[in-house]
Amino acid sequence: MASFSRIIYVAHDHLNKDFGALKEADPQTDAIVLVESARMITGRNWHSERLFFLLSSARHFAEHLRNLGFEGSYLSAPTTVSGLEQVRARYGDLPIVCAQPSSFRQTQLLTEFGVQFVENDFFLTPRDLFADWASKQKSFVMENFYRTQRVRLGVLVDQGKPVGGQWNFDADNRLPPPKNYSWPEYLTHERDQIDKDVAAQLGHTMTSTWATTREGALAQLQNFVQHHLAGFGPLEDAIVSDNWAMHHSLLSPYLNNGLIHASEVIAAVLEGFENNLAPIESVEGFVRQLIGWREYINGMYWFLGEGYRDNNALGATRKLLPLFTDSSKTKMACVSSVVSGVEQRAWVHHIPRLMVLSNLALTTGTNPQEFLDWMRENFIDASDWVMVPNVIGMAVHADGGTLMTKPYASGGAYLNRMTQSCKSCVYDPKLRVGATACPFSTLYWDFLDRHKEQFAKNHRMGQQLQGLKRLTDLPQLKERALEVLAGLDAGTI
């Protein structure tokens, strides 16, 4: 057995040789360990596609490290700590090093075990740099952070000025679903023996949707830049019935488990822009998601602290609706379609997440922590740092406006404009009362009425509250809202 000076622990979201604790690793002095804990697999009601992706990616990465000459172990153990205890028993009382964990819980567990941390550089913004920015803000406006990022990183700027003459092209990126549109195909991924072994262990029926290797992730990146980046921006807020991926990058799972890094994604996108593969509105829109929103969410997770997840500013107490765990438990075409997409591939893009799933949780008054748990368990790109700020802050306004100045609630009119579901639905988005009224239209106004006193202090809610005052059928609407909520609870609406 070789004589090692330290043990490097690689978490399942640190799968990259060039970052974290591995970037200076030496096969002569460092033993590597990845731990597949039973608690990780069985601790929650995880979506099997999510588990398959995480476990198979980690096993492929362990094989990659062995091919690079590292002596390493891929251990199955009851917990991460018990796995590290096994490694200590094998190699002796060596220091154990890893990149800073991506959650408060894991940080506490590993700190108590004596693990030494190096900086988590899987993000572009160090945690202390973000905290310095946030501590100087009167309000945490993501756009302000994003522009600072652009200048700091030198992305789409020329002498401090934005390329294209403006910082934000969001107004150009709100087109409704196109008609008679030909969508380029996305990649499918072949499965090897490691994939098959993991699927057998989990009792999982494999799909070809998600890569489980860095090579597959890089192929996805290249395919996105070549075939989808140009169309990404204008259509990024639409939901279509005939294509689940549209022009979205499908890169978030690989970014979030480390198979690819934000810096190389940005480099590939900028190269595509320089080669005239995409217009500025698409490139800027994608860059904003990556170096703006993704970095902002991770920074706010650490800045706001562990107790942030417990916020419930709107006093929402409804149990998780049956439709979230069974898409057949609703007649709402948009909701059934989106939940079915989650069931099939553990993923839908950001607008179905926000304006269908989260909108419904918000306007029904679903308990934020129950909705957070469901999102955390069912999305392939879900991590604690991802879902806590996104759900508590943006999705259900449970923080009272710390992240977002107003709640993201909408009625059926928005969904009728931005989706293709309403024509086939039994409910009419133009109606807010009556048996065929769209539940979203009914619940939107009922939500505003329930919280009108709280929202009266919010200057961005003035127009909506004035609209509420003009309703002549509010008593009937409130009666219909009770019927809708009861039907949703029963899985019959």
Residue 1 has pLDDT above 60, yes or no: no
Classified as helix, coil or strand, 493 is coil
pLDDT digits (tens, 9 = 90+) for 392-419: 999 999 999 999 999 999 999 999 999 9
Going 223 to 58 to 382 to 416, the CA torsion angle's sign is: positive
Tokens 């009851």 belong to which residue? Answer: 78
Q: Which amino acid is at 70?
A: F
Tokens linked to 48: 């099997």
DSSP lists the bridge partners of residue 77 as: 37
Could you tell me the pLDDT band of residue 222, with boundaries at 50, 70 and 90?
very high
What is the distance of C-alpha 307 from the center of its chain? 20
Q: How many CB atoms lie within 10 A of CB 189?
A: 19
Residues 6+ apart with CB under 8 A from 300: 130, 134, 140, 389, 393, 403
In this predicted structure, the answer to whether residue 476 has a pLDDT above a threshold of 70 is yes
- What amino acid is encoded at 296 in this protein? Y
CA distance 407 to 400: 9
Q: What is the pLDDT of residues 124-133, one digit of tens each?
A: 999 999 999 9
CB 80 within 8 A of CB 37: yes
* Percent of the chain predicted with pLDDT > 70: 100
The token duo for 449 is: 């009425």
- How high does pLDDT run on average in the chain? 96
140 CB neighbour count, 10 Å cutoff: 20
CA-wise closest residue to 125 among 151, 162, 106: 151
Q: At what angle do helices 142-153 and 127-134 cross, to 10 degrees?
A: 130
Q: Angle CA(287)–CA(135)–CA(110) in degrees, nearest 5?
A: 80
Q: Which residues of 328-424 form beta strands (DSSP E)?
A: none
Average pLDDT estimate for 194-219: 97
Residue pair 56/257 in contact (Cβ under 8 Å)? The answer is no
Q: What pLDDT score was predicted for residue 48?
A: 97
User: Can you give the three-state secondary structure of 422-491, one letter per residue?
Assistant: HHHCCCECCCCCCCCECHHHHHHHHHHHHCHHHHCCCHHHHHHHHHHHCCCCHHHHHHHHHHHHHHHHHC
CA distance 80 to 398: 32
Q: What is the pLDDT of residue 43?
A: 85
Q: Are the beta carbons of 297 and 389 closer than 8 angstroms?
A: yes
In one-letter notation, the amino acid at residue 370 is: E
Both tokens assigned to 31: 């033993």
The tokens for 147 are 């522009």
What is the Cα–Cα distance from 323 to 337, expressed in whole angstroms?
11
Residues 292-308 have a mean pLDDT of 98
| Closest listed residue to residue 283, CA positions, set 246, 240, 245, 228 | 228
The pLDDT of residue 72 is above 90 = no
Q: How confident is the model at residue 91 (pLDDT cuts 50, 70, 90)?
A: very high
Task: Tell whether the model's pLDDT for residue 160 goes beyond 70.
Answer: yes
Cβ-in-10-Å burial (0-12, 13-18, 19+) of 257 comes to buried
Candidates 374, 493, 376, 388; CA nearest to 442 is 493
436 CB contacts (<8 Å, ≥6 apart)? 426, 427, 428
The three-class DSSP label of residue 404 is coil
pLDDT at 100 over 80: yes
Q: Which domains does the chain have, with CATH numbers?
A: 6-118 (3.40.50.620), 127-304 (1.25.40.80), 310-490 (1.10.579.10)
269 CB-contact burial (10 Å; exposed 0-12 / middle 13-18 / buried 19+): buried
Q: Which tens digits make up the pLDDT trace of 256-287?
A: 999 999 999 999 999 999 999 999 999 999 99
Structural contact between residues 210 and 189, judged by C-beta atoms closer than 8 angstroms? yes
Whether residue 211 contacts residue 249, with contact meaning beta carbons closer than 8 Å, is answered with no
Q: What is the pLDDT of residue 113?
A: 97
Predicted confidence band of residue 2 (pLDDT cuts 50, 70, 90): low
Residue 249 is which amino acid?
A: S
